């Protein structure tokens, strides 16, 4: 399960992007831009960093992942299916009547820790999970992915205070900093910069990285806590729609469903990117955590 080279992780992320585009196209609904922007974060976590077991989803010592920005669930469904948490064939039921694979994380599905949807809740629950793990003397870490638009929710900052107060260094918050939300630029809707200084003021150790660079992703996640006695906040600077040239940084792709021609064009681009890597155009090296 643990991929050991950057090339393996990049190729897997390209495959996941193709899967999630087909998922959204088939369902005729979904959140495309944010799922494409968070794919590399999730790929690094699930295929290299986190301790988890698809054959034993309730393993007590597992690491926990909470998708607080639950609307961008498509990448997560595709990764869980790829890992064997449920059959890949079930992906075709996404957002269909009676499915388990709804448009937000659903804890009836193995591998999902909590239902999320209303923004601002995930970090609060993650604080509780991290505190419970510490009280039970378990090695589990808790990773919580938030959106940057989500930072306008007051409950995020209440949880931030609690995480620092309890010195939860087994807690890693992640912000998918793609700078776009459904209404446009985050800074136009509700300015949140300087994010790093705000989180530092709340008592967190803050790391800002390229959210599409696997060396930076793995180092940031595996080295937490860099400062003992503090939770870590990783600001993953990403591109909304990443991997599909005509969707990147386009606000309308927040929940745009690709038509047949757009899907084929996107698949062609992603397939070409995989082919280029297989032919050695991208340097391959082992990941040094």
In a domain, 209, yes or no: yes
Task: List, for residues 180-231, the tens digit of each pLDDT value.
Answer: 888 778 888 898 999 999 999 999 999 999 999 999 999 999 999 989 999 9
**What residues form DSSP beta bridges with 67?**
145
Residue 101 lies in a domain: yes
Mean pLDDT of all residues belonging to the chain: 94
Of residues 282 and 48, more confidently modeled: 48
The CATH number covering residue 130 comes to: 3.40.50.970
**Does a structural domain hold residue 82?**
yes
Average the pLDDT over 5-32 and give the result. 97
Per the domain annotation, does 285 fall within a domain? no
Residue-wise pLDDT tens digits, 78-87: 999 999 999 9
Is 64 domain-assigned?
yes
164 sits in which H/E element: helix 154-165
User: Per-residue pLDDT for 175 more than 70?
Assistant: yes
- Asked whether residue 281 carries a pLDDT value surpassing 60, the answer given is no
- Output the DSSP codes for 45-90: IIIII----TTSTT-TT--EEEESSTT--HHHHHHHHHHTSS-GGG
Q: Give the chain's domain count.
A: 1
Distances (CA, A) of 129 to 15, 60, 115, 150, 275: 31, 12, 14, 20, 41
Per-residue pLDDT averaged across 133-153, rounded? 97
Pairing of strands 184-185, 180-181: antiparallel
More confident residue, 251 or 288: 251
Greater model confidence, 1 or 145: 145
Look at residue 98 and tell me whether its pLDDT is greater than 60.
Answer: yes
For residue 284, is it within any domain?
A: no
| DSSP secondary structure code for residue 181 in this structure | E
Task: Identify the weakest region by mean pLDDT among 20-34, 182-196, 244-258.
Answer: 182-196
Q: Report which of 37, 45, 50, 40 is spatially closest to residue 13, judged by C-alpha positions.
A: 40
Burial 43-55 (b: 16+ CB within 10 A, else e): bbbbbbbbebebe
Whether residue 72 is predicted with pLDDT greater than 70 in this model: the reply is yes
Q: For residue 289, what pLDDT is reported?
A: 53
Residue 260 falls inside a structural domain = yes
What does the pLDDT read at residue 55?
97
Domain extent for 174: 6-278
Q: What is the pLDDT of residue 184?
A: 78
- 147 SS3 class: strand
Whether 233 and 168 have beta carbons less than 8 Å apart is answered as no
Q: Rounded distance, CA 142 to CA 242, Å?
A: 25
Query: What are the tens digits of pLDDT across the range 255-271?
Result: 999 999 999 999 999 99
77-81 long-range CB contacts below 8 Å, 24 or more apart? 77/20, 77/23, 77/101, 78/16, 78/19, 78/20, 78/23, 79/16, 79/42, 79/43, 79/46, 79/47, 80/46, 80/54, 80/109, 80/110, 80/111, 80/112, 81/19
1 within a domain of the structure (yes/no): no
Confidence at residue 282, expressed as pLDDT on a 0 to 100 scale = 47
What pLDDT does residue 118 have? 84
Under the banding of pLDDT at 50, 70 and 90, the label for residue 4 is confident
Q: Cα(125)–Cα(153) distance, rounded to whole angstroms?
A: 15
């Amino acid at each position: 399960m643990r991929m050991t080279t950057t090339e393996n992780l990049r190729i897997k992320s390209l495959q996941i992007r193709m899967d999630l585009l087909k998922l959204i196209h088939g369902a005729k609904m979904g959140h495309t831009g944010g799922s494409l922007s968070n794919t590399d974060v999730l790929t690094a976590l699930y295929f290299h960093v986190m301790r988890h077991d698809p054959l034993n989803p309730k393993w007590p010592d597992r690491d926990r992942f909470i998708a607080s920005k639950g609307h961008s669930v498509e990448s997560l469904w595709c990764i869980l299916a790829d890992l064997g948490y449920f059959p890949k064939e079930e992906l075709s039921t996404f957002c269909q009547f009676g499915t388990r694979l709804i448009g937000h994380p659903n804890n009836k599905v193995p591998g999902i820790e909590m239902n999320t949807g209303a923004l601002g809740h995930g970090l609060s629950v993650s604080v509780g999970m991290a505190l419970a793990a510490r009280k039970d003397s378990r090695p589990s870490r808790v990773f919580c992915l938030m959106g940057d638009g989500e930072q306008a929710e007051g409950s995020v900052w209440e949880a931030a205070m609690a995480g620092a107060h309890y010195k939860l260094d087994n807690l890693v918050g992640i912000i998918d900093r793609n700078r776009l939300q459904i209404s446009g630029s985050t800074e136009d809707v509700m300015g949140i910069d300087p994010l790093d200084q705000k989180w530092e003021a709340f008592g967190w150790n803050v790391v800002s990285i390229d959210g599409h660079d696997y060396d930076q992703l793995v180092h940031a996640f595996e080295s937490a806590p860099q400062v003992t006695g503090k939770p870590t906040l990783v600001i993953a600077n990403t591109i909304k729609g990443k991997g599909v040239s005509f969707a990147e940084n386009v606000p309308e792709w927040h929940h745009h469903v690709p038509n047949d021609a757009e899907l084929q064009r996107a698949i062609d681009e992603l397939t070409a990117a995989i082919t280029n890597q297989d032919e050695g155009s991208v340097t391959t090296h082992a990941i040094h955590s």
